[in-house]
Amino acid sequence: MYSTQMEAAKKGIVTKEIKRVAEKEKIDEKVLMELVATGKVAIPANKNHKMLDPEGVGKGLSTKINVNLGISRDCADVDKEMEKVKTAIDMKAHAIMDLSSYGKTHEFRERLVQTSTAMIGTVPIYDAMGFYDRDIKDITPKEFLDVVKKHAEDGVDFMTIHAGLNRETVEIFKRNKRLTNIVSRGGSLLYAWMELNNRENPFYEYYDQLLDICREYDVTLSLGDALRPGSINDSTDICQIKELMTLGELTLRAWEKDVQIIIEGPGHMSIDEIEANMILQKKLCHGAPFYVLGPIVTDIAPGYDHITSAIGGAIAATHGADFLCYVTPAEHLRLPTLDDMKEGIIASRIAAHAADIAKNVKGARDWDNEMSKARKEIDWNKMFDLALDSEKAKRYREESSPEHEDSCTMCGKICAMRTMNKVMANESLTLSE
């Protein structure tokens, strides 16, 4: 018998989840089992999430992407969010993170667990605010843990918990001024609770109880970065690194109890710092899977942050990040619409795939080679089938029809593919109109 995927792997048991992930990733089950046993790969798979088609996150596997959804006070339409869930899964998102922060969120979470084949994440401290409906100062440590347990019972596969923001780290933050202070919502709420009550972070103080909950339901703990940089000015500062060191210690404590760990990372960061940050995280956190928001590589592009994030995400994943949280064009501006979500997913999938090519993930280049073959053969239907966004590719083609079907309206008769195909087949070539 086993309680978690990690415990099973340590005992040499190939679970159905390990078998499925090995099949998807085209790797040997024993190799995957060793990676899970040593914490290099996490397979978030809550025992109560019956619809799950499991994914592996970590070393040697394809880069995964997460989509943030959820209701808020200003946008509380559960049906609209469920429409986004269906679309996100159809667009091959690997994870759905419910960031609901208003009212009684159980309805949305319950429907999500009942329908989502993708792994599901939550941030319980958001839900605590609505669930208890009182000032954060008055929520007790036990009540915070009760919300975690409720999410675990409901079937959530991984949870973001900002356990690394302890009193020691807070003092360092106070002594080292930042341009944008604390931009993590969960981190700012915990900081407020700690300051108002003059107490230790409850998730740090009662970390063992938190691990017991995770072990019981096989919830993967996604250790949140409360002090992630919210501007390129604040990246790789002492606050970020001190918290990361604490997360490394908490990782070892979790593994002792067979609880799987994912480490969360920046944030906003200039391009030249990304590689070093990935190396540092892997070193300080013992090779645990790394989950990044972006990194967003410039602060000046609201409305286009899916692009600034995809640039950073591709570089980050190339150098060790395993899991990319999507960013939409609406980042920093509003709750994303369905169309915003689609753009964010496409941008993140491009970044993830580009990194998989660089990392030599098994089979990653095959997709590109098939597309190149279809382009050489000017096989439009095949190109559409292979396109990351088939609908958009078809629409662009249909909106500007060429005179010659074996070309497009940009090149016409002087299409290089058309020219080379005819010349190499010893066919006559007429370029005049």
Residues 6+ apart with CB under 8 A from 122: 97, 98, 99, 100, 109, 151, 156, 159, 160
- Which of 57-61, 341-345, 394-398, 420-424 shows the lowest per-residue confidence on average (mean pLDDT)? 420-424
Strands 57-58 and 41-42, bridge-based pairing: antiparallel
* Within a domain: 269: yes
* Within a domain: 431: no
d(CA 119, CA 141): 27
280 is annotated as contributing to ligand binding: no
* Within a domain: 274: yes
Instruction: Look at residue 431 in the predicted model and tell me its pLDDT.
Output: 65
Using the CB atoms, write b or e for 200-228: b if 16+ within 10 Å.
bbbbbebbebbbebbbebbbbbbbbbbbb
Q: What is the mean pLDDT of residues 389-399?
A: 93
What DSSP character marks residue 268?
Answer: B
d(CA 331, CA 249): 32
332 is annotated as contributing to ligand binding: yes
Q: At what angle do helices 167-175 and 238-256 cross, to 10 degrees?
A: 170
404 is annotated as contributing to ligand binding: no
pLDDT tens per residue, range 360-373: 999 999 999 999 99
Tell me, yes or no, whether 335 and 349 share the same domain. yes
For the cut 70, the answer to whether the pLDDT of residue 244 exceeds it is yes
411 is annotated as contributing to ligand binding: yes
- C-alpha angle with apex 418: 414 to 419, nearest 5 degrees? 65
pLDDT tens per residue, range 90-130: 999 999 999 987 766 888 899 999 999 999 999 999 999 88
Which of left, alpha, beta for 67 (phi over 0: left; psi -120 to 50: alpha)?
beta
Sign of CA dihedral 383, 384, 386, 391: positive
325 is annotated as contributing to ligand binding: no
239 is annotated as contributing to ligand binding: no
Residue 406: pLDDT band with limits 50, 70, 90: confident
For the cut 50, the answer to whether the pLDDT of residue 433 exceeds it is no
The CATH code of the domain that includes 132 is 3.20.20.540
Instruction: Look at residue 427 in the predicted model and tell me its pLDDT.
Output: 86
Instruction: Look at residue 103 in the predicted model and tell me its pLDDT.
Output: 65
175 is annotated as contributing to ligand binding: no
Residues 6+ apart with CB under 8 A from 288: 39, 40, 42, 58, 251, 261, 262, 263, 282
134 is annotated as contributing to ligand binding: no
- C-alpha angle with apex 323: 236 to 184, nearest 5 degrees? 50
E strand residue ranges, 15-86: 41-42, 57-58, 64-69
Contact call for residues 97 and 325 (beta carbons, < 8 A)? yes
Instruction: Look at residue 89 in the predicted model and tell me its pLDDT.
Output: 98
Tell me, yes or no, whether 372 and 273 share the same domain. no
Tell me, yes or no, whether 281 and 393 share the same domain. no
For the cut 80, the answer to whether the pLDDT of residue 430 exceeds it is no
d(CA 127, CA 207): 19
The amino acid at 299 = D
* Within a domain: 432: no
Per the structure, the count of domains in the chain is 2
Residues 6+ apart with CB under 8 A from 173: 182, 191, 227, 239
Q: What is the mean pLDDT of residues 66-75?
A: 87
Instruction: Look at residue 10 in the predicted model and tell me its pLDDT.
Output: 98
Nearest to 344 by CA among 96, 43, 154: 96
Helices and strands, counts by H and E, the chain: 19, 10
Tell me, yes or no, whether 339 and 371 share the same domain. no
For the cut 80, the answer to whether the pLDDT of residue 185 exceeds it is yes
226 is annotated as contributing to ligand binding: yes
Among residues 329, 358, 387, the one where a domain terminates is 358
For the cut 90, the answer to whether the pLDDT of residue 249 exceeds it is yes
Q: 26-35, long-range: CB within 8 Å, 24+ apart, which pairs?
A: 26/362, 26/363, 27/60, 27/61, 27/362, 31/60, 32/56, 33/9, 34/9, 35/59, 35/60
Q: What does pLDDT average to over the chain?
A: 95
Instruction: Look at residue 432 in the predicted model and tell me its pLDDT.
Output: 58
Q: What is the mean pLDDT of residues 72-78?
A: 80
d(CA 143, CA 136): 11
What residue numbers bound the domain in which 389 lies? 364-424
Q: What is the mean pLDDT of residues 37-41?
A: 98
Tell me, yes or no, whether 253 and 394 share the same domain. no
For the cut 90, the answer to whether the pLDDT of residue 62 exceeds it is yes
* Within a domain: 24: yes
pLDDT tens per residue, range 153-164: 999 999 999 999
- Which of 280-289, 302-311, 390-399 shows the lowest per-residue confidence on average (mean pLDDT)? 390-399
Task: Give the containing element (helix H, strand E) for 264.
Answer: strand 261-265
Tell me, yes or no, whether 140 and 169 share the same domain. yes
Instruction: Look at residue 421 in the predicted model and tell me its pLDDT.
Output: 87
Tell me, yes or no, whether 271 and 369 share the same domain. no
408 is annotated as contributing to ligand binding: yes
* Within a domain: 47: yes
Residues 6+ apart with CB under 8 A from 156: 46, 49, 98, 109, 113, 120, 121, 122, 219
Instruction: Look at residue 63 in the predicted model and tell me its pLDDT.
Output: 98
Nearest to 341 by CA among 91, 46, 140: 91
418 is annotated as contributing to ligand binding: no
Q: What is the mean pLDDT of residues 161-184?
A: 98
Tell me, yes or no, whether 239 and 371 share the same domain. no
270 is annotated as contributing to ligand binding: no
Tell me, yes or no, whether 328 and 416 share the same domain. no
For the cut 90, the answer to whether the pLDDT of residue 410 exceeds it is no
Token reading at 248? 């490394």
Among residues 307, 323, 358, the one where a domain terminates is 358
Contact call for residues 323 and 261 (beta carbons, < 8 A)? no
Q: What is the mean pLDDT of residues 180-186?
A: 97
381 is annotated as contributing to ligand binding: no
d(CA 330, CA 301): 11
227 is annotated as contributing to ligand binding: yes
Tell me, yes or no, whether 340 and 393 share the same domain. no
Tell me, yes or no, whether 143 and 275 share the same domain. yes
* Within a domain: 255: yes
Tell me, yes or no, whether 328 and 395 share the same domain. no
Among residues 341, 358, 375, the one where a domain terminates is 358
